[in-house]
């Protein structure tokens, strides 16, 4: 088995899509083993997005992630890292495939940051690192 860290970003929480995201995750067969709504700190976001520091979208991304509560979850199941990223769809919501969370529920809103609803870890190493950031 495997585990991953999922964030339901402030746009999805504000739009009332927390349940819809969790429904899709559970409907595919993954198990939610931890779940918490919280206001992210700048320290958590600096650690979570360290790989993007210095990129033009970094500060808008951090500001967006601070703009309201997020929901952090740990999900478990065989190949859940790949499986959740497949459920989420590609990064850009306008062109993410229909059938995915971003493709069905997201779009562009004319802002610098891509409000793309969810985050999922991209490797077992990043999953363990990110679980430490969000669940201590
Ligand atoms: P996450 O699951 O959030 O990590 O998304 P991802 O893995 O699909 O994207 P990535 O890790 O490359 O980027 C993290 C976040 O930064 C994305 O989810 C977007 O919100 C934002 N982002 C990434 N690339 C761009 C970009 O080229 N332009 C803008 N404006 N935002 C970006
Ligand atoms: Mg990423």
pLDDT in tens, 42-93: 999 999 999 999 999 999 999 999 999 999 999 999 999 999 999 999 999 9
User: Is the ipTM here above 0.85?
Assistant: yes
Q: What CATH architecture does domain 3-135 belong to?
A: 2-Layer Sandwich (3.30)
Is the pTM above the cut of 0.90? Answer: yes
Pocket of ligand 1 (CB under 6 A): 57, 61, 91, 112-114, 116, 119-120, 122
> Given this model, what pLDDT does residue 70 score?
99
List CB contacts of 86: < 8 A, sequence separation 6 or more. 100
What does the mean pLDDT of the chain come to? 98
Domain boundaries, the chain: 3-135
Q: How far is CA 86 from the centre of its chain?
A: 12
Nearest residue (CA) to ligand 1, atom 27:
57
**76 beta partners:** 3, 31
CA distance 63 to 128: 24
């Amino acid at each position: 088995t495997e585990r991953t860290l999922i964030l339901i970003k402030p746009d999805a929480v504000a739009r009332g899509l927390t349940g819809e995201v969790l429904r899709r995750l559970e409907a595919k067969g993954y198990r939610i083993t931890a779940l918490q709504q919280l206001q992210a700190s700048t320290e958590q976001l600096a650690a979570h997005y360290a790989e993007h520091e210095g990129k033009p979208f970094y500060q808008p991304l951090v500001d967006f992630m601070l703009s309201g509560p997020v929901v952090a979850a740990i999900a478990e199941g065989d190949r859940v890292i790949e499986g959740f990223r497949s459920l989420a769809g590609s990064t850009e919501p306008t062109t993410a495939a229909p059938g995915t969370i971003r493709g069905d529920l997201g779009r562009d809103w004319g802002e610098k940051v891509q409000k793309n609803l969810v985050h999922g870890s991209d490797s077992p190493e990043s999953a363990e690192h990110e679980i430490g950031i969000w669940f201590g």
